[in-house]
Structure 1
């Protein structure tokens, strides 16, 4: 496979455009390699417009698409430019997305028959107890009513004029806080990120430096993490990401295309 045609003066080559976008996003070659699963030598060759290591046009397009999404740019113009530079069909047969981050599929939960039987037994016992108590209360109520009919008639009270019910005012109802997410438990910090207006590359680590997440979020996807000490974030294309910390909406994480580094601790709703 050829390295590629020389780009025109007003249009960077595919590899140069990807390298420039990665630099502007504040990402290293190793970080992009981890996200896309494209090996570092291949990624470096692509940034130099050498696609001979890709193993063919189909794989080259797959690498370009994965790298472009990781650095926050639209892959389609770059794939069209690659096809034009290498005289290949710009609409190849669809292939499986081999280079996207793996999605963890949860296994179907099996029914817990033991818990169901225990719940049924508790329900039966509760029903029997309720029936016995209700019958006893009904008998005692009949005896009291027969022994003192005048007393029951005289114990009816009217609402106090000073009470809100006496004045016809409505009873106050509890208000809903309207928080976007539940507040963190005492002594913990909870952070939620939502890709609301575009894709974004996210890296999250906990207070011990353990990596909790490192991948690209597509538009509409969300992730939430909780820790005792702190949550540290690196957010690419920060303007597309909405932040919620300890139940409070902090708005966008930054500007469009900006890469930001943030730290949050328990009881700290402001950006660190």
Structure 2
């Protein structure tokens, strides 16, 4: 095939040469499009010598080569003719379009009240523990008496203290648990906490998670709660808290400075 400046029946243009070769090969535009992956509208425009839809000189040359190979003609003379007629020298290939990445904006984070409450509990327990430990050095006698009271409560045996009048005549200080808390109503759970020998921080909730109490108990303070199904406790400085559940004395809630989580239901423990 000769290359000329003006198309003629014997010397067709690039687009016409591709169209004639396609027809001669018995191929439809759709079949060529499926093989070359060049869209049908672009193929039809190229066969009319309209290369404006190719997206640039580089893409037009690539389309011409792919179509020529499929329809069975030598692509190089057609590419050379296209370059002579359409592409100026030293044309810079256009850069492929750049698409801005979609920015994903996160929703504002909601306050984490659970984490805030846990942090507050840890802070209060740490303060109470520091107060309990620090208070032990202010007076040897006071610290000894507090330790004796806690030990007696934990073991269930009455503590003995020396009378100022006679160092040889110890007197017993029994704990009266019979009248501390009334029997629990049938089908309910009743919990009483008493601060003995120190201060403690208490959080009490019912079976629905409703807060019943959240504060510090000073030495000698008490609180009582009743619920149909369940009472849950978080106790700071558990060694300073005496527990009475469903009419039964359970002794200290835990060790000194310890934080414990407890749950009680009707009949647990059984009334005693």
Greater relative contact order (CA < 8 Å, ≥ 6 in sequence): 1
TM-score, normalization by structure 1: 0.38
Larger Rg: 2
TM-score, normalization by structure 2: 0.38
